[in-house]
Chains A and B, each alone.
Chain A
Amino acid sequence: MPKITYVDSQENSKTIEVENGLTVMEGAIQNDIPGIDADCGGSMACATCHVYVEEKWFNKLPKAEDAEIDMIDMAVEPKKNSRLSCQLIVSDELEGLKVTTPEKQS
């Protein structure tokens, strides 16, 4: 199972194994990773699973579709490397992915 590292805004980091096919958001929720709220349950409707993706990973990920980019406009402090973690599907290619959660989601 690919290992995903979640870092919070205080730089506390937690690495967990997430099953292929789950989203990075689901991996966080199932493992009680703080900092990801995911209020809408993954329907790209709330921007509370917003994460910053480590630079070297950002370009490797499949590009965000328009609806995701529109939703990121609503996120708290979006940056160039912002993604919604509910849209990042875990696979072997994501082994070692590192995401940082913002200070708060809403």
Chain B
Amino acid sequence: MIKTDVVIIGAGPVGLFAVHQLGIKGLKAVVVDNLDKVGGQCIELYPDKPIYDIPAVPECTGKELTDKLLEQIKPFKTTFFLNERVEEVKEEGNNWVVKTNNNNQFNAPNILIAGGVGSFEPRKLTTKGAEKFENKSIFYSVKNKDDFKNKNISIFGGGDSALDWALELSKFSKITLVHRRNEFRGAPHTLNEIKKLEEQKKISIKTPCQLDKIEGEDKIKSISIKYEDGKIENITTDFILSFFGLVMKLGPIAEWGLNMDKKTISVNPKNFETNKKGIFATGDICSYPGKLKLILSGFHEVALASVECFKRARPNEKYRFEFTTSSKTIQDRLGKK
């Protein structure tokens, strides 16, 4: 059991800035995120796309914003628990006990949810029967390349993941690459390589078509794909690899007894507390009258929530509002001399 002042759920920009706002008030936090890296949507959905509405930063990419935030919170030496999802939240006296799917447990007076639209999961195929073959014949990622040796593999998708794995696995397996239109969106170099392999008949490319049927009992035997003009083609397939990006699922948060409004958590806009004392929701996941899903709104929300977190974590101390420019205490915490 790890004791801390605040458990932050979500390592997106808002969760990261929460570390800062809590840190300058002398509060310790841990951050839990389901992804394997920090940055949330900024890193997962638009690492290279520009953002123009961060105050005083005329333009930056999702990756740059994340890197800057990490630099800003470096003095607080925060521990990140990545690849972990918070499963369970239990009240214990005035504190909350938080359990993750990796069996980590935290005890803290405050939980700050900055979970965006939920945790990212691969977008699954919706074709009939797809579910029963999952992790047997249908995969949404490659964990061990050796499992894919000397097989007939049908890869679906038109982006970098699909193209990169088609290249890699074509070294030792028969690859069919299926995409719904003729254009692929991948790095030009990868596209050239794929074309070469197609000419050498090492990769077979099927466009414009989509998955129509999956056949087999315990394992997949073959699949059929349907072309735009309605033509059907059968392809001998051992494994399907599907790369249609990620979707966001709210997951266990919905079960914690918080007041919800569709997929968002209702909060008091005074301190961003939910209907449960000591559980706060900030960023895209919270809702209150006039809410805007902007990164800058999230920054404001964690600043206010951190004050209430302080009061709960330090009930015997008086909260004093201070400016970073003039407060010796804050500057010490930031390691400035």
Contact = CB atoms under 8 A, between A and B. Distances in A.
Interface of A: 37, 39-41, 43, 45-48, 66, 69-70, 73-74, 76-78, 80, 103-104, 106
Interface in B224-263: 228, 244-245, 247-248, 263
B319 to A, nearest CB: 33
Contacts of B293: 41
* Main secondary structure on A side of the interface with B: loop
B248 A77 contact: no
Interface residues of B, number: 24
Contact of A40 (B45, B123, B124, B185): B45
B123 A74 contact: yes
B117 A39 contact: yes
**Per DSSP, are chain B's interface residues mostly helix, strand or loop, or mixed?**
loop
Given A73-B158, A73-B159, A78-B180, A39 B123 contact: no
A73 B163 CA distance: 14
B126 A74 contact: no
Contacts, number: 50
11 contacts: A37-B263, A39-B247, A43-B45, A45-B45, A46-B247, A46-B248, A73-B157, A73-B158, A73-B180, A74-B123, A77-B210
Given A45-B41, A73-B159, A80-B228, A39 B248 contact: yes
Contacts of B117: 39-40, 46
B229 to A, nearest CB: 11
Nearest to B121: A106
A45 B247 CA distance: 10
A43 B51 CA distance: 11
Contacts of A48: 247
Given A40-B41, A46-B45, A70 B180 contact: no
B46 interface: yes
A36 to B, nearest CB: 12
A45 B44 CA distance: 10
B44 to A, nearest CB: 9
Contacts of A70: 159, 185
Contacts of A106: 123-124, 247
B308 interface: no
B45 A74 contact: no
B284 interface: yes
Given A73-B158, A73-B185, A80-B228, 16 more contacts: A39-B247, A40-B248, A41-B284, A41-B293, A43-B46, A46-B247, A46-B248, A47-B245, A48-B247, A66-B185, A70-B159, A70-B185, A73-B179, A73-B244, A77-B126, A78-B180
B181 interface: yes
Contacts of B263: 37, 39
A56 to B, nearest CB: 20
Contact of B181 (A41, A45, A73, A104): A73
Contacts of A43: 45-46
